[in-house]
Structure 1
Amino acid sequence: MDFFDTFPEPAPPPEPAPAPPRPAWVRPDAALPAAMAENAILVHEERLAIAIGGLSVYPNGFDFSIHIRTRDDSEEINPHGRRRDYVRNTVRADTDPEQNLRVGVLFADGRRAASNQPRPHDTPDNEADPDEVVLLSSRGGGGGRSYDLTYWIHPLPPDGAVTIVVSWLAQGVTEARCELDGAAIRAAAEKAVQLWPDEPLRGWVGEPR
């Protein structure tokens, strides 16, 4: 008998667990969004500008971009609180998250959400109340004098004003607002193309998509 034949056969690998149901608030993977050119400058100061970029509207929500520009050459301004001082070649973190960039949304019916509030995927079942507004930072980056960030909002808003609110206390921005047209966003959603049904999220660990 061969040496290795004396060892017991390894147990077969377990069957993969079925994927959980796809949360209703997740941005679709299998849809082509409709574009809306909703550009608006919220802040335009001597050394800092913040603007809202175009919207990408999906059947169950929309995302929009925030563009940050600065003229300061000595220190990198980071919306998440880290600063790089190019003169001293150091990086430091602001300890108070309330000083960092905060983004909020207010629907015409009073529902609202903010980027510094608990997220649905922080809950045990990864779900949210169907009527709850979800606002998530979905992607973005930058450095130096330029940052571009994207935020996802679910569900589609009712008719009326959709107010985007930005605060950045570390940069002296207490609150800046702009209004989008909820009816126009809903109309754009009708032009989004669902290519095929979205599949369950394999490997779902609660991260925004």
Structure 2
Amino acid sequence: MDFFTAPPARDRDREPEEERTLPPWLGPPDTVLGRIVDISRTLFRSEALAIVLTSAIAFPEGAKLDIRIAARPVEGVNKETWWERRDLMFERSHHRFRPGRSLEDEVLRFGVRFPDGGKATTVDGGPRHDGEWPPPRPDGPLLQQHGGGGGSGGDRLISLNWKLWLWPLPPAGPFEVAVEWPAFDVPLTFTEVDGAAIAAAAEHARPYWP
């Protein structure tokens, strides 16, 4: 008997598993081309750090927000401190937290606040559905990290990229984007953003196929 044998042929006659369509509150649709909106609003800036909301991709029921983070060495920061800062930014910007406990200073937090008082943050924990599918529709709004996190870092610059999914679409008027990052001396800061431009762009999102 041979020691190495080929695996048995797969049963290709089986019925394919039913495809699960991602609910809109969990992320953008895979088969829709969203419309890009230039925003270019600085959420926070100091001599050492800048956090910028560069753009949004508007979909019929939500928007994907693109955020860039850049840091540079400043006077008084030696090379050892700089590289420690770099490691902290890459390793701890996505630092996990546990519900019911105080957030650690290393946790980078984003949020939105609507004119009617509704708000959502990246540390809310997201919707819970206990494995139920399709999951029940939450009350909203929701703001969740959705991709991004890549970046680069060297002797002169550190850059990170965050992508956030906001559901539902913001109101067709001003709303606020919040950021806070105590470990990097970023206080709770609110910046007004034009929701009308995002809402208008969402009307031009189109499916790949009719």
State the TM-score, normalized to the length of structure 2. 0.73
Shift >4 Å, 4+ stretches: 12-16, 93-97
Count how many residue pairs are aligned between Structure 1 and Structure 2: 179
Give yes or no for the alignment of 1:104 onto 2:111.
yes
What is the alpha-carbon distance in structure 2 between the residues aligned to residue 54 and residue 24 of structure 1?
20
- Provide closer, same or farther for how the CA distance between residues 94 and 129 of structure 1 changes in structure 2, counting only shifts above 3 A: closer
**Equivalent of residue 139 in structure 1, options 136, 140, 147:** 147
Contact 2:129 2:136 in 1 (8 A): no
8 Å contact from structure 1 (residues 65, 150) kept in 2? yes
Return the alpha-carbon distance in structure 2 between the equivalents of residues 128 and 161 of structure 1: 29
* Residue 115 (structure 1) shift: 0.6
Alignment correspondent of 1:207: none
Query: Percent same amino acid among aligned pairs?
Result: 33
Q: Which residue of 2 aligns with 1:45?
A: 46
Is the Cα contact below 8 Å between 2:35 and 2:205 reproduced in 1? Answer: yes
User: Does residue 1:124 correspond to 2:124, yes or no?
Assistant: no
Q: Give structure 1 stretches of 5+ with no counterpart.
A: 1-9, 83-92, 198-209
Equivalent residue for 1:194? 207
Give the C-alpha shift of residue 18 in structure 1: 2.3
Aligned to 1:153: 166
Q: How many Å separate the matches in 1 of 2:198 and 2:180?
A: 24
3-state SS of paired residue (1:38): strand
Counting only pairs closer than 5 Å after superposition, residues 16-55 of structure 1 correspond to structure 2 as: 16-25=16-25, 26-55=27-56
Q: TM-score, normalised by structure 1?
A: 0.73
**Structure 2: runs of 5 or more not aligned:** 1-8, 74-78
2: distance between equivalents of 1:130 and 1:117? Answer: 13
Question: Cα–Cα, structure 1 residues 28 and 121, in superposed 2: closer, same or farther, change >3 Å?
Answer: farther
Residue 183 of structure 1 aligns to a residue whose secondary structure is: helix
Q: Residue 113 of structure 1 corresponds to which residue in structure 2?
A: 120
Q: For 2:123 and 2:96, how far apart are their aligned partners in 1?
A: 15
